[in-house]
Amino acid sequence: MNKEQIKLLSYIKRSEYRADILKTMENEMQFPSQIAKKVDLRINQVSTLLKGLKEKGLVECINEEEKMGRFYKLTEKGKNIVENL
């Protein structure tokens, strides 16, 4: 693991919710509402967490232009972090 990966892993492990969201997204792209149901959080909480994960380059929205029904998936960087959780 390089220094950047260690920083990202630390960022994820500081919040159980961030780790849960990444693990939930491991095998498929999902809507925030699906993630919220699986990790038992409100959708606005999931949206806030996804924003932070996106800023760190761990997840990406594949249809950003949509107002509703946005799909999120792990980036390669996100997949590498999930392997180390």
Do 60 and 75 touch, CB atoms closer than 8 A?
yes
Instruction: Count the Cβ atoms, other than its own, within 10 Å of residue 30.
Output: 20
Only one residue has tokens 């260690």, namely: 6
pTM of the model: 0.90
Which domains are seen in the chain, by residue range?
3-83 (1.10.10.10)
Q: What is the pLDDT of residues 16-61, one digit of tens each?
A: 999 999 999 998 999 999 999 999 999 999 999 999 999 999 999 9
CA 74 – CA 25 distance, rounded (Å): 7
Do 71 and 34 touch, CB atoms closer than 8 A?
no
